[in-house]
Each structure stands twice: as C-alpha cells, then as structure tokens.
Amino acid sequence: MSKDTGTGEGTDVKQGADEDETIRVWMVERGYTNRDLITLVYATPDGERAIHNERAAATMSGGSGVSAARDIDPKRLEPVEEEETIGRYRQEAERTIENNEPDETI
C-alpha cells in the first residue's frame, strides 16, 4: 500500500508485500556545530514528527550531499513538542516538497 500525498498534508507511507512500512520525511533544517558536525533534521510533512542526525562535516566535502527526503522506519521518529517548531517544520517541509525531488541532493 502506498500513500504519497506530496502536498505537505498527511504523511507519506510506503509498504510493499516484502517490505517493512516506511515513512517519507523531508529535510527541514541543517546546521553546523562547533565540533565540525552537520546537524540534519528531517520531518513529516505535517511537522509533527522528526528525526535528528549528525554527520561529520568532512563527509560532506567529497560531494556526498544529503537528499531532500528519506524513507525511514516510523519507530525512529520523535514527536515535535513545540507548536512553533511544528509550524516551522511544516512550512520547511512544504517548501522542500515543492522545490525538490525526494532523491535530489540539497
């Protein structure tokens, strides 16, 4: 079963006969720490759940960018608590969806 709204409303869920269920999340935030780490936040189109990752900045310099979207296990997502953050993530997800293909490097 596949639900792929692509509109920023609802949540993109994909499931195949032999596949575990995954959920599509979109890049909503990227930052840099003083420890030479890139922080990445991917969120659901509704902004209510997100996953935070850190990558060494050195891994990004060799042309290894990050994709606009990822399909991940829903169990890895954490709820976003603050309404302001939910709204910001929702807006950023909508912008990313409108301007990028899921596998596009951004």
- What are 31-62's pLDDT values in tens digits? 988 888 999 999 999 999 999 999 887 776 65
Give the per-residue pLDDT at 56. Answer: 85
Taking the CA atoms of the chain, what radius of gyration do you get in angstroms? 14
Computed over every residue of the chain, the mean pLDDT equals 84
| Count of the separate structural domains present in the chain | 1
Q: For residue 81, name the pLDDT band (cuts at 50, 70, 90).
A: very high
Averaged pLDDT, 84-97: 99
Instruction: Tell me which of 3 and 84 has the higher pLDDT.
Output: 84
Instruction: Tell me which of 104 and 6 has the higher pLDDT.
Output: 104
Averaged pLDDT, 56-77: 84
Position 104 in a domain = no
CA–CA separation, 91 vs 45, rounded Å? Answer: 8
| Range(s) of the domain holding residue 33 | 2-99
Strand 69-72, strand 49-56: pairing: unpaired
pLDDT surpasses 50 at 17: no
Position 32 in a domain = yes
- Give me the residue label for tokens 């659901």: 44
Position 105 in a domain = no
CA–CA separation, 68 vs 90, rounded Å? Answer: 14
- What φ, ψ does residue 85 adopt, rounded to 5°? -70, -40
Position 106 in a domain = no
